[in-house]
Structure 1
Amino acid sequence: MLQAFQFVSISLSLCAIFCTPESQAQYVQIDQEFGLNQHTEHQHLAFLAARRDSIPGLLSPFNAPPKAKVLVEEPEPWLTTPHPWRRGITATVFWVGERASERNPTPNDSSAWDPNWQANFGGEDHPAKRNGYLPAGFTPKLNPFYIALPYNDLAPDGVHYPEASEVIPWFWKTYRGEWTSVCKGRWIAVHYRGKVCYAQWEDCGPFNSDDWQYVFRGQQPKPTPNGNAGIEVSPAIRDYLGIRSGFRVSWKFIEDHEVPNGPWTQRH
C-alpha cells in the first residue's frame, strides 16, 4: 500500500513539472509561421540592398583610396617664379589725371581698379611739371612709378574673368575674392638700353583690357591706333629710362622680393 502511494506521489510530481502551461505545446496557425519567415527574409534582402547602394559612395568597398594622391604645394614666397621678358614692345607715356583725348579716350582721374585714383594719388601727375621723379607742387601718396597693361582680370560685376585663374601665374597665391584684382600693384621690370626701372601695375591699357594672350602668353599685342603699343609708363619711368612715347622697351613680371631699393620703393 505504501509503495502504491509513493508511485502516485511521484507521478503527480512529474506531472506538475512537465505539464505546466508554459511547457505545453501551443498551437500556431500556419499563416503566422510562414509569415514570420517571409518577414525575416524581407529584412535580410533590404539589408543587402542598402549595403549595395552604399558601395558607390565609398572610394572602395574596403574604404581605401583607389590610388595615391599627388599634392602640389605653392612655392615658398622667397623662391623666384620665372617670368619671360616681353621684348620690343612699344611704350607710351600716360599719367594720373590725364584728360581724355584722341590718344587717350578714357580720362585717368580713375583707373580700372580705383575709382578715386587721382584723389588717392594726391593730384595730377603732370608730365611737364616735375620735381625730379615726382610731380611738382605736391608729394604723391602712391608710388609714382606705375604702368598700365592691356588686361583687366575683373569683369564689371566684380567677378574674375574665366581665363584669369588659368593664365595668371600667381592667381591663387594672391586671390582675395571678388572685387579685388590680383593684377593691381604687381611689380614689373622695364628695360631700355641696359637700364632697368621697377614699377607697379596700376591700370589697364592702352586701348585694350582683354589681351591676356599678350600679357601672359607672350604673343604680340593686339593692334591699336597708337602703333600697337603694349605698355603705358608713368612720367617717372619715362624720366628714369630717358624715353618718350613710341620708344620700344622690354618688360617682365617680377616677384616682390626681387625689387631692389630705388626711387620706386621710397616713401616720400
Structure 2
Amino acid sequence: MGGTPTASAAPSRPVAPKRNVAPLPRRTYPWHTGIVSTTFWVGEIFDPTAPDGSQRISTYDARWFEHYGGCDGVVVAGKCRTERRTAAGGWFPTRMTPRENPFYLDVPFDDLNDPVGWESRCRVVPWADDPGYAGLCTDRSFSYLKNRWVRLVGQNGATCYGQVQDAGPGEYHDAAYVFGHTDARPANRRYGGAGMDVSPALNGCLGFAELDGDMDRIRWQFVEASEVPRGPWTRLVTTSGVTTD
C-alpha cells in the first residue's frame, strides 16, 4: 500500500543494493506484538482512485509488477486476485513463476518518498550508521528498508520470514511503532488498524484464517540477514535496488 514513487536521479532499472552487513555489536530488535495484519499482493488494485491503491508499483519500485514477474495470484475476469497457498508448494504462487521473493511485506515507514520519512530516516532507522550503511543519508537511490528481513510469528505459532518491499498500510512515517522499543500501537486506523501487510506466501505460511481480511494478528521483529534460517523464504531472495521509472 505504498505511495507513488517520485522522480529523482535514481537509476531506471534495479541495481545491486549497498552491502547489507550485520551490525557490530550485534543488536536484538524489539518485538511488536498483537499486530493486525492484512494481505496484499503484486498486481492487486484495491482502489484505483487512491495514490496508494495499486500494488502494480511499490514505493521502492515503480515497475514492481514487471520485476516481480506479473500477478502474484490468479487473473480472473482481467483482475489480479489472491489465492490460497500451501506448504506442499512452499507457499509459492501456483499460476506464475516469480522473479523475486514471494515472501514480502510492508511496514508503515517510507524512507524515500514520504517527506517526513526521508528527513528523519538517519535519526530513526537503527542500522543507519552500521557498517555498509553509513554515509547514505542523502542517497536518493538507496532505501534502508527495501529488502530488509523480518521475522513473523502467527497466531498458530508458525514462524516465517519475509523481506520489506513496500510501505504502509495507511501511514508512511510511523517511526514510533516501526522502530520503537515500547511496543507502540500502529498509528494507522484504517484496514482494522493494521500495522503490516503481508504477501499471499506469508498469509499461508502464518496460517491466516482469511485470504484477504483484517482479523489476523501477528508479532514481528526486524532481523539481520545472517539470522534468517534456510526455508522457502530463502529459495528466491530479492536483491534489486530502488527503481523510480
Contact 1:160 1:178 in 2 (8 A): no
Query: Is the counterpart of residue 141 in structure 1 residue 88 in structure 2?
Result: no
CA RMSD of aligned residues (A): 2.6
Structure 1 254/161 Cα, relative in aligned 2: closer, same or farther at 3 Å?
same
Question: Which letter does structure 1 place at the counterpart of 2:172?
Answer: S
Contact 1:90 1:227 in 2 (8 A): yes
Shift of 1:191: 0.4
Q: Corresponding residue for 1:254?
A: 223
Query: Is the partner of 1:198 in helix, strand or coil?
Result: strand
Query: Is the partner of 2:205 in helix, strand or coil?
Result: helix
Distance 1:164 1:137 in 2: 38
Query: Is the partner of 2:129 in helix, strand or coil?
Result: helix
Shift of 1:166: 1.1
- Taking the TM superposition and a 5 Å limit, the aligned residue runs for 1:18-57 are none
TM value normalised by structure 1: 0.66
Aligned with 1:167 (options 117, 124, 127) = 124
Rg: which structure is higher? Answer: 1
Query: Is the partner of 2:118 in helix, strand or coil?
Result: coil
Shift of 1:78: 7.3
Q: Corresponding residue for 1:215?
A: 178
Q: Corresponding residue for 1:3?
A: none
Shift of 1:215: 0.6
Query: Is the partner of 2:66 in helix, strand or coil?
Result: helix
Percent identity of paired positions between Structure 1 and Structure 2: 36
Shift of 1:101: 2.7
Query: Is the partner of 1:164 in helix, strand or coil?
Result: helix
Contact 1:190 1:196 in 2 (8 A): yes
Larger helix proportion, structure 1 or 2?
A: 1
Query: Is the counterpart of residue 106 in structure 1 residue 53 in structure 2?
Result: yes
Query: Is the partner of 1:257 in helix, strand or coil?
Result: helix
Q: Corresponding residue for 2:8?
A: none
TM value normalised by structure 2: 0.71
Question: Which letter does structure 2 place at the counterpart of 1:195?
Answer: A
Distance 1:155 1:229 in 2: 21
Structure 1 212/160 Cα, relative in aligned 2: closer, same or farther at 3 Å?
closer
Question: Which letter does structure 2 place at the counterpart of 1:153?
Answer: D
Shift of 1:169: 0.6
Contact 2:41 2:200 in 1 (8 A): yes
Shift of 1:129: 6.7
Query: Is the counterpart of residue 128 in structure 1 residue 76 in structure 2?
Result: no
- Taking the TM superposition and a 5 Å limit, the aligned residue runs for 1:226-265 are 226-243=191-208, 244=210, 245=213, 246-265=215-234
Contact 1:78 1:257 in 2 (8 A): no
